[in-house]
Structures are given as C-alpha cells and as structure tokens.
Amino acid sequence: MELSAKSAVGKNVFCSDNDQQWQPLLISLVFCWLCDILYGAINVGSVRPTYIKRVAIELVKRFPEEFTDDFEHNKQKVQELTDVKTHRMRNRIAGYVTRFRKYYEA
C-alpha cells in the first residue's frame, strides 16, 4: 500500500490510494443519511408502544372473526369497535392488528 502526501484543505495529509477512492462515496452517503434524518425521510424501526400492542391483541382475541389481513378493513373495524379519538392512533392499532393476523396467527 502506497501512501501519498496531499495538502488539500479538509483532507488527510497521509492517506492510502484505497482511502482516497472511497472518500467521495462515504461523504455522499453521510450527507444523504443526515438529510434523511433532518427531513424525516427515515422511519427508524417499527417499534410500537405497548399500549397499541395491548389494545390490538385484545381486539383480535375478543373479535377474531372481525379482522383480516387487509389494513383498510381492519381500520374500519377498529373504528367501529373502539372509541379511539385520533386517526393516527386508529391506524397504528389497525396496522398492528394486520401484522399480528398475518405473522403470528398464520
């Protein structure tokens, strides 16, 4: 591995040829990652609060014939069977019901 000395502003004085090859790619990846975080494009995981899981599982256990693998259908059923006030909460519960029906009861 050959080391070259460059005196460009913002670059390492000693870096290998391999490192120079990867620097633009790494810089662009970090820039894209930061932009995604700043503008909310990244949804970091699908961790749901316990109360959403608890309500969804309770609904599926009480009314197993009411729910299917279809999100839109489950969204309407959650609206009918609960007194959830916000659309966001209803959608989260319906989403977990759908996932629960697809993967855990298959």
Give per-residue pLDDT as tens, 67-102: 999 999 999 999 999 999 999 999 999 999 999 988
Question: For 30-53, what is each residue's pLDDT tens digit?
Answer: 655 555 555 554 455 567 788 999
CATH for 50-104? 1.10.60.20
Q: Which of 86, 91, 46 has its CA nearest to residue 72?
A: 91
Check: CB of residue 13 under 8 Å from CB of residue 6: yes
pTM reported for the whole predicted model: 0.56
